[in-house]
Amino acid sequence: MRELFELCGADPELVFSPYCWRVRLALAHKGLDWQSRPTRFTDKELIAFSGQKLVPVLIDEGETVHDSLAIFAYLDQRYPQRPLLGGALAAERARLVERLSFHMVRVPLLKMLIPRVWQVIDPADREYFRSSREKALGMSLEAFADPQGGERLFREGVAPLEMWLRDQPFLEGQASGGCDYLLAGMLFWAWCLGAQPWAEDSALGAWFARILQTYEATHGPVKRAAIHLEENQ
Ligand SMILES: N[C@@H](CCC(=O)N[C@@H](CS)C(=O)NCC(=O)O)C(=O)O
């Protein structure tokens, strides 16, 4: 059996982590099934066997792999059909895309999504979420969160991708591949938390819809949170 330990909210079906979504999309790309193991922020004992504290963690045929990009590489090596990363050179390029998406997309989305994450997580996770994020950010959640500013930064960050996707249906060309899923995982994070900072009729919006539809065609509707935020959030 293949098991995927992935971050969930108070509702175990609400899976929203960008890194876990990358792995779901990669498994779907390979045509592989998996059993979800919903894991809350503080469920560290559930993943202790992996020797570290973050999800996603995949158990496949007795192998334990963590880290989304390492899981992509593992899946390519174990299941060579429909490569995600391709050869060593392509894998290095994917690492570059991963770093770019981290800074240009992940940071703006974090500014947008913090109030939403706060709402969906188990109340028992909130103290851990606050203290771990405030330590990493070097400031309070309230000082960092800026939904409008984050949305503006997101649009600026994805502007080059918008141009790219006007010329071809996927980042990787005519068919989706690892780089598409590295970025799409970030957008699934927003989507599952009920946000959509891209226009539906944009090239980026059409690209996201293609990836979402392909995933939903085999795995059913993706669960989204119904979130009501105050005017200024
Ligand atoms: N580089 C890792 C990052 C994994 C990561 O940051 N996971 C987050 C979920 S969004 C996590 O497990 N957080 C739990 C915690 O902060 O304790 C990857 O690509 O998989």
The Å distance, Cα 54 to ligand 1 centre, comes to 5
Torsion of CA 43, 48, 49, 51, to 10 degrees: 140
Looking at the DSSP assignment, which residues form a beta bridge with residue 65?
Answer: 58
pLDDT in tens, 85-135: 998 999 999 999 999 999 999 999 999 999 999 999 999 999 999 999 999
Choose between 226 and 76: higher pLDDT: 76
Pocket test for ligand 1, best of 19, 64, 101 (most atoms within 8 A of CB): 19
**Which of these, 103, 105, 133, lies nearest to 118 by C-alpha position?**
133
d(CA 65, CA 57): 6
Pocket test for ligand 1, best of 8, 53, 54 (most atoms within 8 A of CB): 54
Q: Does domain 88-214 have CATH number 1.10.10.10?
A: no
Alpha helix (H) ranges present in 57-174? 68-78, 88-101, 107-120, 126-137, 141-144, 147-167
Q: Taking a C-beta distance cutoff of 8 angstroms, is the pair 15, 36 a contact?
A: yes
d(CA 42, CA 221): 27
Q: What is the pLDDT of residue 229?
A: 74
pLDDT in tens, 12-23: 999 999 999 999
| Rama region for 207: left / alpha / beta (φ>0; ψ in -120 to 50; rest) | alpha
d(CA 32, CA 26): 9
Q: What is the pLDDT of residue 83?
A: 97
CATH topology for the 3-78 domain: Glutaredoxin (3.40.30)
So where are the chain's domains? Answer: 3-78, 88-214
Q: Does the beta carbon of 44 lie inside 6 Å of ligand 1? A: no
Number of C-beta neighbours around residue 135 at 10 A = 8
Please tell me whether residue 58 adopts helix, strand or coil conformation: strand
Q: Taking a C-beta distance cutoff of 8 angstroms, is the pair 44, 53 a contact?
A: yes
pLDDT in tens, 167-200: 999 999 999 999 999 999 999 999 999 999 999 9
pLDDT in tens, 127-157: 999 999 999 999 999 999 999 999 999 999 9
The Å distance, Cα 55 to ligand 1 centre, comes to 5
